[in-house]
């Protein structure tokens, strides 16, 4: 089979690697798509990513059996086949055609990479790329025998290779893969306001298995903020739901659309380690207990500490962009049992989500006792008696009153617009636990 991986054609100033993917499918129309185009997100903590650190890959050949519509480009229907057989192809010719596409559609600030292979690459390469940093030595071993082309530094070769190592069938958590149907704008509208109403987004977001479309406050999360060709990204756990419902979005309609199989919402980036083993760039999952009450610093950021079963301690943070998620953090008390998920940097875990497993007792201080003379008494100091300033009468310190917290057990997360592509939404976790 003809397997192609592409990465890093965009920058913060524009472009989109998935748009390049549609151009590749158009160009190689003499081949059939075998399986789905793949959108593969890699380590979200790498410092050189543009936005979502995503790469794309495809498998081409001669399709056999039934075909399925998975896209449409300016009225031309795009189909794929579940199974296929090999077709003869000239690697040099394919590479030349891909080079022309990359040259035309990649952003000048990008470092694109192309990998062409007869086989899928070793899956260990994917896991290295989604949880850590792929070394040059690991990459070279994995792509031995493949045809590789890099541009302007060639950083995209790493992502392109990793995308060809993702099978979509194994997983780190409960979900092996999800789907994203991406709609694209006509070129003259790139960089202009996207006319997608919150009402239309709300209509599709209520469908079973659909996720990351809209925040609770009505903010649209499925529409990008960058001047790229993407109109919206419609995500869900069932591909047919996306295909049958995307037409409700509007009023602006896409001139192209394509369905991708993706590792988004799988939590594949999370790993479980001892705190002493954390390194900058890790995305971690850990069981812990709260060891300090949250504090608020300038900017509205929340910080608190947790400790693991080995009594190792680490600081956690919920930054201002997580919005209402911070109010959950405010309710934590020392002794609460939690599961922490987030990215580790500079000795701190930046929270992606948290599970409250059990709550420590909560207490409140009772009112100061009334003196027999009718006056309110005052504390004589920590753990000391209470005294009436008027008559001098002393009273024992009253017992603290236990209270019931309004914090419920379960998972909590930031709004969709602040969520990592790879992070499994709480709505999906609850269905797989």
DSSP string for residues in 294-337: -EEETTTEEEEEEE-TT--EEEEEE-GGGTTHHHHHHT--TT-E
Given a cut of 90, is residue 402 above it in pLDDT? yes
Tens of pLDDT, residue by residue over 159-180, are: 999 999 998 887 666 799 999 9
CB 41, CB 53: distance < 8 Å: yes
Q: Based on the structure, what is the number of domains in the chain?
A: 2
Rg (C-alpha) for the chain, rounded Å, is 27
Same domain, 22 and 79: yes
Report if residue 385 sits inside a domain.
Answer: no
Range of weakest confidence among 3-12, 87-96, 283-292, 324-333: 3-12
Q: Are 342 and 349 in contact (CB under 8 A)?
A: yes
Both 250 and 220 in one domain: the answer is yes
Please report, in angstroms and rounded to a whole number, the separation of the first and last CA atoms in the chain.
Answer: 37
Asked if residue 46 and residue 10 are part of one domain, the reply reads yes
303 and 213 share one domain: no
Determine if the peptide bond prior to 251 is cis (ω within 30°): yes
As a whole number of angstroms, the distance between CA 136 and CA 134 comes to 7
Residue 334 counted as domain residue: yes
pLDDT of residue 432 exceeding 60: no
395: in domain: no
pLDDT per position as a tens digit, 292-348 = 999 999 999 999 999 999 999 999 999 999 999 999 999 999 999 999 999 999 999
Helix ranges, 155-258 (H): 156-163, 198-205, 239-245
Separation between Cα atoms, residue 284 and residue 19, nearest integer Å: 32
Of 267, 288, 305, the position where a domain reaches its end is 267
In a domain, 376, yes or no: no
pLDDT the model gives residue 401: 93
Per-residue model confidence as pLDDT tens digits over 251-283: 999 999 999 999 999 999 999 999 999 999 999
Please check whether residues 260 and 355 belong to one and the same domain: no
User: pLDDT class for 152, splitting at 50, 70, 90?
Assistant: confident
Shortest CA distance to 399 belongs to which of 366, 361, 371, 372?
366
Boundary residue ending a domain (217, 247, 267): 267
Average pLDDT over all residues of the chain: 94
Are 196 and 52 in the same domain?
yes
The strand pair at 178-184 and 230-236 is best described as antiparallel
Judge if 112 and 179 occupy the same domain.
Answer: yes
Instruction: Tell me what pLDDT residue 173 has.
Output: 65
Given 267, 288, 304, which residue is the final one in a domain? 267
pLDDT at 431 over 60: no
Q: What is the pLDDT of residues 106-144, one digit of tens each?
A: 888 889 999 999 999 999 999 999 999 999 999 999 999
Do both 240 and 109 map to the same domain?
Answer: yes
427: domain CATH number is: 2.40.50.1010
Per the domain annotation, does 378 fall within a domain? Answer: no
Average pLDDT score over residue span 408-415: 96
The predicted structure's pLDDT at residue 226: 87
Task: Judge if 203 and 294 occupy the same domain.
Answer: no
Can you read off the two tokens belonging to residue 223?
Answer: 């529409």
Say if residue 140 is in the same domain as residue 31: yes
Question: In the prediction, which pLDDT does 14 show?
Answer: 77
Please check the confidence at residue 433 and state whether its pLDDT lies above 60. Answer: no
Output the CA angle 160-164-170, nearest 5 degrees: 130
Average pLDDT over residues 183-193: 95
Q: Which domain holds residue 57?
A: 1-267
- At residue 172, the pLDDT reads 67
Whole-angstrom Cα distance, residue 259 to residue 239? 8
Q: Using the 8-state DSSP alphabet, how is residue 225 labeled?
A: S
For residue 192, being part of any structural domain is answered with: yes
What CATH number has the domain bearing residue 15? Answer: 3.30.70.2200
Query: Does some domain include residue 393?
Result: no
User: Phi/psi at 224 (nearest 5 deg)?
Assistant: -70, 160
């Amino acid at each position: 089979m003809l397997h192609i991986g592409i990465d890093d054609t965009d920058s913060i100033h524009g472009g989109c690697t998935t748009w390049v993917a549609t151009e590749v499918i158009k160009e190689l129309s003499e081949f059939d798509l075998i399986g789905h185009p793949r959108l593969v997100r890699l380590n979200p903590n790498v410092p050189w990513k543009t936005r979502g650190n995503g790469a794309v890959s495809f498998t081409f050949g001669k399709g056999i059996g039934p075909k399925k519509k998975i896209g449409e480009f300016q009225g031309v229907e795009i189909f794929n086949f579940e199974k296929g057989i090999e077709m003869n192809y000239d690697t040099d010719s394919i590479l030349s055609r891909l080079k022309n596409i990359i040259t035309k559609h990649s952003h000048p600030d990008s470092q694109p990479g192309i990998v062409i292979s007869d086989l899928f690459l070793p899956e260990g390469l994917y896991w290295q790329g989604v949880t850590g940093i792929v070394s040059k030595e690991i990459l070279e071993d994995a792509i031995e025998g493949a045809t590789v082309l890099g541009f302007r530094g060639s950083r995209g070769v790493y992502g392109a290779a990793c995308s060809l190592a993702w099978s979509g069938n194994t997983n780190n958590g409960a979900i092996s893969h999800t789907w994203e149907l991406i709609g694209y704008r006509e070129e003259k509208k790139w960089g202009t306001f996207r006319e997608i109403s919150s009402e239309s987004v709300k209509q599709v977001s209520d469908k079973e298995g659909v996720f990351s479309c809209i925040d609770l406050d009505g903010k649209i999360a499925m529409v990008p903020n960058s001047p790229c060709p993407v109109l919206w990204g419609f995500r869900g756990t069932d591909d047919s739901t996306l295909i049958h419902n995307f037409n409700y979005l509007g009023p602006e309609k896409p001139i192209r659309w394509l369905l991708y199989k993706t590792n988004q919402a799988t939590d594949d980036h999370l790993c479980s380690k001892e705190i002493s083993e954390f390194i900058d760039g890790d995305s971690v999952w850990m069981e812990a207990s709260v060891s300090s009450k949250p504090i608020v610093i300038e900017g509205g950021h929340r910080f608190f500490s947790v400790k693991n079963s080995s009594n190792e301690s680490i600081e956690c943070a919920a930054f201002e962009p997580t919005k209402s998620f911070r109010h959950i953090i405010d309710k934590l008390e020392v002794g609460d049992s939690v599961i922490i998920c987030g990215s580790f940097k500079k000795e701190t875990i930046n929270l992606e989500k948290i599970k409250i497993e059990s709550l420590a007792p909560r207490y409140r201080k009772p009112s100061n006792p009334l003196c027999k003379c009718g006056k309110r008494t005052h504390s004589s100091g920590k753990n000391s008696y209470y005294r009436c300033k008027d008559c001098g009468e002393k009273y024992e310190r009253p017992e603290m009153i236990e209270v019931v917290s309004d914090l419920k057990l379960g998972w909590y997360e930031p709004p969709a617009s602040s969520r990592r592509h790879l992070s499994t939404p709480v709505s999906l976790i609850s269905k797989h636990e």
